[in-house]
Amino acid sequence: MNTSLTLDTEIAFLDRAFEQSRNSLVDFSDFTEFNAKTSSELEILGLTLGWLCVGNDPMAYSGVKALVDKASFGWACGAYVAWTGDDYILTELEFQINKWKYALDQERSFPKIYKEIGARALMTAYHSRRDPRSAHGFEEYLDNLENKWQNNHSNVRDLDCFLQASVLPDTPEQFATILGIEFQGSAEFNANQSYSFWKQLSQHVLDSTEVTNGNSSAHIFLSSLSITCFLHGLLRMRPDVPSGRIKLSPNIPHDLTSFGVQNLRVGSNTLNFKYSHHEGEHTFIAEQNRGQIPLNLVFQPNVYGCSIENIYIDEELADLEWNAYSATSRVGTQVQLYLEKQRTVTIVSK
């Protein structure tokens, strides 16, 4: 049985770049090439998230350990729990987590985005472990942060300039934007921008492979960005393995009419996901193909259209609320499904 993460878009260079990126991340096993002396904090964080996406947990664990005492440690540690379900790391690294928590307010040099996303990730990890006492301190910090920044709606970057100028993020704000992660004061890629950026990354992965045979540190980082840009930014996959839940909020670009992802890993579970679009009908199919307990899928599709005429769940007409976003000509809805069988959601938009 093939359990490798695969993607089929029927666009040859995208599928080939995804496969090469996956293989680079899965096969990589020597973290000594990526340490504090040779790699930036942002690169190690990106690699850690990429390894989690493809199931290379030993390397992801090494990435988390390499970020101890770094500003991005909270983000990496919380993500590790969310993707693997291994909450023992919260006990193992309790001292380091408490030290990082203390530094939230004490270390002014910490980028605010690392504070916000890290606090949110660890809060979720502790709640998933049913440890509200440990989560409470992070909740209080986030509440204070929200009150402090509630009137700050400025964009921290010009996204179009970034897209044109670079394929590699220079700041944690740019990196989070690529991944579709919301944070205070953020601007967000729309679906077409995310798709355009992912295509750029995919081409760079293929070009890098030709030059380095896939062996350079730059190529590994590109591979991680390519994988995470698709899974986080376009598919918007947000697992919460300790709770047996996964959130998918696909942000479908106008030009991508179909794709299929096989063996999306959610802890020890895997699922397949397909999308197709034909004449205003958007069809999504999710099926869990490994795991004894059905996953709880929180599904929030976002597609092009001015309104939704009908929504069908497993071919039955469903009475669901939906939202229209007139500024971007997009519509979306939300439904919660248990994956005890293949589930189909069809949106008829106009």
Structural tokens at position 97: 């987590």
CA distance 101 to 206: 40
161: enclosing H helix or E strand: helix 159-165
pLDDT in tens, 316-328: 999 999 999 887 8
The amino acid sitting at 113 is: I
**Is there a single domain that holds both residue 143 and residue 188?**
yes
Q: At which of 218, 237, 256 does a domain end?
A: 237
CA angle 335, 341, 347 (to 5 degrees): 35
The position carrying tokens 């919380």 is 78
Length of the chain, in residues: 350
User: For residues 246 and 296, what is the distance between their CA atoms, to the nearest angstrom?
Assistant: 6
Same domain (yes/no): 78, 183: yes
Q: What is the 3-state secondary structure (H, E, C) of 201-263?
A: HHHHHHHHHHHHCCCCHHHHHHHHHHHHHHHHHHCCEEEEHHHCEEEECCECCCCCCEEEEEE
Residue 153: the pLDDT is 39
Whether residue 29 is predicted with pLDDT greater than 90 in this model: the reply is: no
Q: Are residues 305 and 266 in the same domain?
A: yes
Q: Is 181 left (phi over 0), alpha (psi -120 to 50) or beta?
A: beta
Q: How much is the pLDDT for 2?
A: 55
Q: What is the pLDDT of residues 109-130, one digit of tens each?
A: 788 899 999 999 999 999 999 9
Query: Three-class SS of residue 10?
Result: coil
- The residues with which 338 forms a beta bridge, in sequence order, are 296
Structural domain includes residue 28: yes
Residues 284 and 137 in one domain: no
Residues 259 and 312 in one domain: yes
Same domain, 68 and 171: yes
Domain count, the chain: 2
Indicate yes or no: pTM above 0.75: yes
Give the C-alpha distances (Å, rounded to integers) separating 113 from 38, 61, 101, 110, 201.
23, 22, 14, 8, 23
What's the pLDDT tens digit per position in 290-313?
Answer: 988 999 999 999 999 999 999 999
Looking at the structure, do residues 91 and 227 belong to the same domain, yes or no? yes
CB neighbours of residue 297 within 10 Å: 21
Over residues 220-239, mean pLDDT: 94
Do 232 and 254 lie in one domain? The reply is no
Interhelix angle 94-106/132-149, nearest 10 degrees: 20
Range of lowest pLDDT (97-111, 207-221, 231-245, 246-260): 207-221
| Separation of alpha carbons 146 and 144, rounded Å | 5
Cα–chain-centroid distance for residue 269?
17
Two tokens at 311? 């929504």
pLDDT value at residue 248: 97
Helix (H) or strand (E) holding 6: strand 6-8
Characterize the bridge pairing of strands 330-333 and 237-240.
unpaired
The pLDDT of residue 50 is above 70: yes
What is the domain extent for residue 207?
A: 8-237
Average pLDDT over residues 34-59: 87
